[in-house]
C-alpha cells in the first residue's frame, strides 16, 4: 500500500463536517478502493470550539487557512470556506503554488477564477478538483470530462439550484404567494436567511459557467451568463403553466449558436412530459446532449452535507489513485474564448401574463403591439379571475427573436389598459 | 504529445463501425482531450467486403481476432464480437496475457467471466474497460467506481434493457397484444429476430450482475440473479397498473439483505410518480442509493451504435490518459463472495390478476387461500370485462414473504373457478 494521503480541510461548515465524517466512517472501504488511507491531518475554521458532531481532536488546528494550505504536513488541501475571492481564493492559490492539489466545492470561485487557478494547477502539475461545485452529489464533472469525452456536446442544461426548485415545486402545489413559500423554505433550511444568491439565479449562473467550460472546452465566462431569478413568479403563473401543459423550472442552459456561446439562467416553462419536469423539490438534474451519445440525464441531491461530501471525496480518491486531468478537460492554453451570444439574438417561444382592465378593446391593443413587433402569437386567452377591476390575459407565442418580443412587451406595458408590469416566462421545448 | 494509442478492433457490427466513425470524426477533439492520437490500426470481422459506411482501407485486416489480439502493432484491443465464450473470450484472454489493455461491450462475457478476466488484467497491470457493457451510453461504471466511490451503496436498480422498455411502453399506449407489439419492435429494429435474450430478461440479468459487483465490491454472480421476462404481460395488466397508479417496467434490482445479496430481474409495478416510471421507450436508467449521496439517477440511450461507441471511446480515453483502476473497483482478491438471497425470502407487495368464472363464491375461495398462506391483502377488485364466461379479479397485497405469496397462488391456481394461470407482478415502492 502507498503512503497515506494527508488531507487538510479549510472550512468546517456542513460540508466540511460531512467530509470529515465520511472519511472517518468509510475509512476501511476507501483503503480497499484506493489502496491507501485518506487521513484528515489538519483543519481550519473560524470557531475552534463549536460542536460539529465530529472528532477533530487528533487533527492539527490552524486559525489561518493560508497557513494550513502551505503546511508541510498536508498533501492535499480541501477548500470549503466559500466566497468568490478573499481567504478562499488566497488559500487555493497558496496551496497550488506550494505544489499541492486542491479540492473545492466553491462554485463562485471556480466560475470567476477557474482559468487562472487551472493555470496554476497545470504549472504545478497537480489536480484542481471541483466535482462538489456543480450539482452537489451528482458526478457531472466526471461525466463531462471523462464519461462523455468522445462527444462534441451540443447543449447542456439543468436544474442547478435546489432552493429555487423547491420553491417552484411548492408554489405550484400550495398556490401560496412567493413570499410565503420562501419563508417556509427558510424555516425548513432549504433557503438561506439572505436568499438572494439562490433566488436571483446567481448560484445557478456560477454552476452553468462551469458546465459550459467543461462541455465546450471554453474559458469559464461568468460575466456572459444572462441571469434572471424567480421572485416574480406567482401562483397564477404556475396555475396557467399547468393548464398549458407546462411546469415552471429555473434552468441554466448553454449552447453554441451562430452568434456565439449562449449561456442563460432564468425561469422556463417546460413541457410536463419532459424528463426534467419530473425533477421535484431540492433535487438537481443536468442533461447533456452529445453528438454520439444523444441525451443523457443525471439527477440527484444538489446540496447538503452528505451529497456534497460524496463529491469532495470522489475528487480526493482520484488524487489518491493518481488520476489527474486538465481542470476543464483540455490544457488551459487550448480552452477557447467564445464570443457571447446576447439575449437579443435568442430565439424562443414565450409565455406572457398581463393584468388588464376588463373592458372591450384591450385585446385589440395587445395584439396590435405584437403585430407591430412582428411577434407571432400561438394562443391568447383571457381569464376573468377575481383581480378586483382587472382580468388576466395569458398569451403564448411561436418562436420569435427576443428583441422583437421585448419591443412588443414595452409597447404593451405602456398601454393605459395594462395595470401591472407584464410577466414574461420563456418556453423551452426540451 | 505522447505516442499515438494504436487500437485494434475485433468485431465491426453496428458498435464497431460506430467506434471507427467516432474516432475518425472526433480525432482532433480527442487529441486535445487526451494529449495523444487514438488511431485504429487494425480490424477484424467476419466479412471483409461488407459496406459499413466507414473507411477501413488504411487499417490492417485480420481474419482471426485472436491474431489481432496479440499483434505487436496493437496497443489496446477492443472486443465487440459478443457472446459469452468462444472467440470473444479467447481474444480477450490472449490480449490480456500479451499485456494489452482490453475494452469490451460484452455484458455476457463480463457477467460470466469478469472475475477471471479481472485477475488476468491485474496480473498484466493493464485495464479491462467495459463501460459499454452496462446501459449503453450512460457512464454508470465510471459513476459507481469513481464518482460515487465515497459511498457504501445500499441499492442499485434500473431499466437495463431498452427492448423491454420499448415493448412495455408500447403495450400501455397501444393496448395491443404482446405478440403484435413485439412484431412492431422487430420491424423498427428495437428487437432482434430472436428476441428471447432481451424479453426473457437475460440481457438485463447480465448487466445487473455487473452493476452488483461494482456497487457491492462482490464477485459477479450471474447464476444467482433471479430472472423473469416480460412475455406474460398483457395489455390488461398495463391498464390495471394505470388504474392503480402504477406503470410496469422490467427492472433489475440488487441489494444486500439479511439473507445475502438479492439480485433480481423481473417486471415491476412502480408508482407513476417514481422518477424511473417516466423513463420511456428505448431509454435506460440506473438509480443508485448511496449512504452519503442518497439517490442519484442516470438515464440515457442503452443501445445503438452512437451511444455504445461513446462508452467504448471513454474507456479508450481513460487508457490513453493513463488512468487505470481495478476492474470492479477493488483488487480481485478483495472482492467479496456474498451468499445469494433466494426469492423465497424476498419481502414485497404483489399484484395478482386472475381470470375467474363469473359466479358467486369465487372471491370467498380466493380470499380463503390468501388467508391460509397468511398473505395480507390490500385491495381486491372484480372487473367484469368481456372475457367470454370469465371475469378479471385483480388484487394487490401489503408486504409479504414471497414463499407465502407463491403458496397462496398455487392454491388459487388449483381452484376450479380459476380459469387461467394467475398473473403475478411484484410492486416496488421506489
**Residues B147 and B294 placed together within one structural domain of the fold:** yes
pLDDT of residue B387: 58
Answer whether residue A252 is part of any domain: yes
Indicate the range of A192-196, A328-332, B411-415 predicted with least confidence: A192-196
C-alpha span between B168 and B238 (Å, rounded):
8
Q: Tell me which residue range forms the domain holding A380.
A: 344-427
Instruction: Assign A390 a pLDDT band (cuts: 50, 70, 90).
Output: confident
pLDDT of residue B390: 84
**Residues B21 and B84 placed together within one structural domain of the fold:** yes
Query: Which whole number is the average pLDDT over B56-72?
Result: 97
Q: What is the CATH number of the domain that holds B273?
A: 3.30.360.10
Considering CB atoms only, which of B131, B278, B294 is closest to A137?
Answer: B294
Q: Answer whether B239 touches A (CB < 8 Å).
A: no
**Residues B274 and B352 placed together within one structural domain of the fold:** no
**Residues A40 and A182 placed together within one structural domain of the fold:** no
* pLDDT at B2 exceeding the cut of 80: no
Angle CA(B367)–CA(B368)–CA(B369) in degrees, nearest 5?
90
Check: CB of residue B194 under 8 Å from CB of residue B122: no
Q: Between A382 and B115, name the one with better pLDDT.
A: B115
Check: CB of residue B42 under 8 Å from CB of residue B68: yes
Residue with cell 447542456: A156
Mutate to test the interface with B, among A7, A34, A149, A323 (most CBs of B within 10 A): A149
**Residues B123 and B167 placed together within one structural domain of the fold:** no
Tell how strand B76-79 and strand B5-10 pair up.
Answer: parallel
Q: Answer whether A143 touches B (CB < 8 Å).
A: yes
pLDDT of residue B49: 86
Considering CB atoms only, which of A292, A310, A314 is closest to B306?
Answer: A292
Answer whether residue A117 is part of any domain: yes
Long-range CB contacts (< 8 A, 24+ apart) of A241-244?
A: A241/A172, A241/A269, A241/A351, A241/A425, A242/A172, A242/A272, A244/A269, A244/A351, A244/A379, A244/A394, A244/A396
Q: What is the CATH number of the domain that holds B355?
A: 3.30.70.260
What are A302-339's pLDDT values in tens digits?
Answer: 999 999 999 999 999 999 999 999 999 999 999 999 99
**Residues B86 and B154 placed together within one structural domain of the fold:** no
**Residues B252 and B379 placed together within one structural domain of the fold:** no
**Residues A361 and A255 placed together within one structural domain of the fold:** no
C-alpha span between A150 and B18 (Å, rounded):
11
Which residue(s) pair with A76 in the sheet? A7
Q: Answer whether A131 touches B (CB < 8 Å).
A: yes
Q: Which residues of B fall within a CB distance of 8 Å from A334?
A: 32
Answer whether residue B324 is part of any domain: no
**Residues B120 and B205 placed together within one structural domain of the fold:** no
State what percent of residues in chain B have pLDDT above 90: 90
Query: Which whole number is the average pLDDT over B363-386?
Result: 89
Query: Which whole number is the average pLDDT over A206-221?
Result: 98
At B368, is the secondary structure helix, strand, or coil? helix
* Beta carbon pairs, A and B, within 8 Å: 177
* pLDDT at A384 exceeding the cut of 80: no
* pLDDT at B231 exceeding the cut of 70: yes
State what percent of residues in chain A have pLDDT above 90: 90
Answer whether residue A306 is part of any domain: no
Check: CB of residue A83 under 8 Å from CB of residue A108: yes
A133, A161, A191: which is the final residue of a domain? A133
Considering CB atoms only, which of A32, A217, A275 is closest to B32?
Answer: A217
pLDDT of residue A175: 87
**Residues B146 and B293 placed together within one structural domain of the fold:** yes
Q: Which residues of A fall within a CB distance of 8 Å from B296?
A: 137-139, 298-301
pLDDT of residue B385: 61
Considering CB atoms only, which of A146, A293, A310 is closest to B142?
Answer: A146
Q: Answer whether A274 touches B (CB < 8 Å).
A: no
Mutate to test the interface with B, among A139, A292, A301, A334 (most CBs of B within 10 A): A292
Considering CB atoms only, which of B30, B294, B307 is closest to A293?
Answer: B307
What are B308-357's pLDDT values in tens digits?
Answer: 999 999 999 999 999 999 999 999 999 999 999 999 999 999 999 999 99
Global pTM reads 0.96
Answer whether residue B72 is part of any domain: yes
B317/A306 Cβ within 8 A:
no
* pLDDT at A385 exceeding the cut of 80: no
Catalytic residue check, B207? yes
Tell me how close the Cα of A415 comes to any Cα of chain B, in angstroms: 44
- Sign of the CA dihedral running A386, A387, A390, A391: negative
Check: CB of residue A219 under 8 Å from CB of residue A115: yes
Q: Answer whether B267 touches A (CB < 8 Å).
A: no
Q: Answer whether B317 touches A (CB < 8 Å).
A: yes
Q: Answer whether A142 touches B (CB < 8 Å).
A: yes
Q: Which residues of A fall within a CB distance of 8 Å from B218?
A: none
Q: How many residues does chain B have?
A: 430
B307/A334 Cβ within 8 A:
no
* pLDDT at B45 exceeding the cut of 70: yes
What are A334-381's pLDDT values in tens digits?
Answer: 999 999 999 999 999 999 999 999 888 888 999 999 999 999 999 998
Q: Which residues of B fall within a CB distance of 8 Å from A144?
A: none
State what percent of residues in chain B have pLDDT above 70: 98
Q: Looking at residue B339, what DSSP letter applies?
A: P
Q: Looking at residue A386, what DSSP letter applies?
A: E
Residue B388 — left, alpha, or beta (φ > 0 → left; ψ -120 to 50 → alpha)?
left
Q: Which residues of B fall within a CB distance of 8 Å from A149?
A: 30, 33-34, 313-314, 317
Residue A65 has, within 13 A of its CA and on its CB side, a CA count of 24
* pLDDT at A386 exceeding the cut of 60: no
Q: Looking at residue A127, what DSSP letter applies?
A: -
Which H/E stretch holds residue B349? strand B347-357
* pLDDT at A388 exceeding the cut of 70: no
* pLDDT at B1 exceeding the cut of 80: no
**Residues B147 and B295 placed together within one structural domain of the fold:** yes
Mutate to test the interface with A, among B30, B140, B146 (most CBs of A within 10 A): B146
Answer whether residue B308 is part of any domain: no
Q: Answer whether B66 touches A (CB < 8 Å).
A: no
B300/A294 Cβ within 8 A:
yes
* pLDDT at B171 exceeding the cut of 60: yes
3-state SS track over B153-215: EEEEEEECCHHHHHHHHHHHHHCCCHHHHHHHHHHCCCCCCCCHHHHCCHHHHHHHHHHHHHH
Residue with cell 432482434: B192
Answer whether residue A63 is part of any domain: yes
3-state SS track over B243-266: HHCEEEEEEEEEEEECCEEEEEEE
Nearest chain B residue to A333 by CA distance is B32
CA distances from B21 to A151, A292, B9, B52, B56 (A): 12, 10, 12, 10, 10
Indicate the range of A119-133, B24-38, B123-137, B373-387 predicted with least confidence: B373-387
C-alpha span between A233 and A256 (Å, rounded):
28
**Residues A119 and A213 placed together within one structural domain of the fold:** no
What are A1-53's pLDDT values in tens digits?
Answer: 469 999 999 999 999 999 999 999 999 999 999 999 999 999 999 988 899 99
Instruction: Assign B386 a pLDDT band (cuts: 50, 70, 90).
Output: low
Q: Answer whether B103 touches A (CB < 8 Å).
A: no
Q: Which three cell numbers stand for residue A146?
A: 471523462
Instruction: Assign B175 a pLDDT band (cuts: 50, 70, 90).
Output: confident
Average pLDDT, chain A: 95
State what percent of residues in chain A have pLDDT above 70: 98
Q: Which residues of B fall within a CB distance of 8 Å from A216?
A: none
DSSP-assigned letters across all residues of A283-327: EEEEEEEETTTEEEEEEEE-SSHHHHHHHHHHHHHHHHTT----T
Number of separate domains in chain B: 3
Q: Answer whether B162 touches A (CB < 8 Å).
A: no
Answer whether residue A114 is part of any domain: yes
Q: Which of A100, A142, A207, A249 is catalytic?
A: A207
Considering CB atoms only, which of A18, A297, A306 is closest to B299?
Answer: A297
Check: CB of residue B162 under 8 Å from CB of residue B137: no
Nearest chain B residue to A308 by CA distance is B293
Query: Which whole number is the average pLDDT over B196-215?
Result: 98
At A31, is the secondary structure helix, strand, or coil? helix
Q: Which residues of A fall within a CB distance of 8 Å from B151?
A: 26, 310
Residues A214-252 as b or e (16 or more Cβ within 10 Å = b) = bbbbbbbbbebbbbbbbbebebbbbbbbeebebbbbbbb
pLDDT of residue A387: 58
Residue with cell 441525451: A295
Q: What is the CATH number of the domain that holds B49?
A: 3.40.50.720
* pLDDT at B164 exceeding the cut of 70: yes
A138/B142 Cβ within 8 A:
no
Amino acid at each position: 500500500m502507498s503512503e497515506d494521503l494527508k488531507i487538510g480541510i479549510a472550512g468546517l461548515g456542513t460540508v466540511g463536517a460531512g467530509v470529515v465524517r465520511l472519511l472517518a466512517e468509510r475509512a476501511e472501504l476507501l483503503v480497499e478502493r484506493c489502496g491507501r488511507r485518506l487521513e484528515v491531518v489538519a483543519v481550519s475554521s473560524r470557531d475552534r470550539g463549536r460542536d460539529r458532531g465530529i472528532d477533530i481532536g487528533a487533527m492539527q488546528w490552524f486559525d489561518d487557512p493560508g497557513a494550513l494550505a502551505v503546511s508541510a504536513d498536508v498533501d492535499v488541501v480541501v477548500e470549503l470556506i466559500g466566497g468568490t475571492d478573499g481567504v478562499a481564493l488566497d488559500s487555493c492559490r497558496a496551496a497550488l503554488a506550494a505544489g499541492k492539489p486542491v479540492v473545492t466545492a466553491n462554485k463562485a470561485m471556480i466560475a470567476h477564477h477557474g482559468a487562472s487557478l487551472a493555470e496554476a494547477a497545470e504549472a504545478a502539475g497537480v489536480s484542481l478538483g471541483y466535482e462538489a461545485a456543480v450539482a452537489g452529489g451528482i458526478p457531472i464533472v466526471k461525466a463531462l470530462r471523462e464519461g462523455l469525452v468522445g462527444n462534441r456536446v451540443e447543449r447542456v442544461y439543468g436544474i442547478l439550484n435546489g432552493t429555487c426548485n423547491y420553491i417552484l415545486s411548492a408554489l405550484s402545489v400550495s398556490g401560496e404567494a412567493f413570499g410565503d413559500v420562501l419563508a417556509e423554505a427558510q424555516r425548513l433550511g432549504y433557503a438561506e436567511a439572505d436568499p438572494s444568491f439562490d433566488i436571483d439565479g446567481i448560484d445557478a449562473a456560477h454552476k452553468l459557467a462551469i458546465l459550459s467550460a467543461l462541455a465546450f472546452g471554453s474559458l469559464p465566462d461568468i460575466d456572459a451568463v444572462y441571469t434572471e431569478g424567480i421572485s416574480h413568479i406567482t401562483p397564477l403563473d404556475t396555475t396557467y403553466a399547468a393548464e398549458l401543459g407546462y411546469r415552471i423550472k429555473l434552468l441554466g442552459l448553454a449552447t453554441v449558436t451562430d452568434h456565439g456561446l449562449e449561456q442563460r439562467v432564468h425561469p422556463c416553462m417546460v413541457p410536463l412530459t419532459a424528463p426534467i419536469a419530473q425533477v421535484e423539490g431540492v433535487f438537481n438534474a443536468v442533461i447533456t446532449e452529445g453528438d454520439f451519445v444523444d441525451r443523457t440525464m443525471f439527477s440527484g441531491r444538489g446540496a447538503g452535507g452528505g451529497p456534497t461530501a460524496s463529491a469532495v471525496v470522489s475528487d480526493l480518491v482520484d488524487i489518491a489513485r493518481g488520476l489527474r486531468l486538465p481542470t476543464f478537460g483540455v490544457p488551459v492554453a487550448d480552452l477557447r474564448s467564445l464570443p457571447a451570444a446576447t439575449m437579443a439574438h435568442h430565439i424562443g417561444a414565450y409565455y406572457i401574463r398581463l393584468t388588464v382592465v376588463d373592458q372591450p378593446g384591450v385585446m385589440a391593443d395587445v395584439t396590435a403591439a405584437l403585430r407591430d413587433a412582428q411577434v407571432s402569437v400561438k394562443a391568447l386567452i383571457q381569464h376573468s379571475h377575481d383581480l378586483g377591476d382587472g382580468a388576466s390575459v395569458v398569451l403564448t407565442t411561436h418562436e420569435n427573436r427576443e428583441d422583437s418580443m421585448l419591443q412588443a412587451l414595452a409597447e404593451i406595458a405602456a398601454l393605459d389598459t395594462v395595470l401591472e408590469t407584464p410577466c414574461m416566462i420563456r418556453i423551452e421545448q426540451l
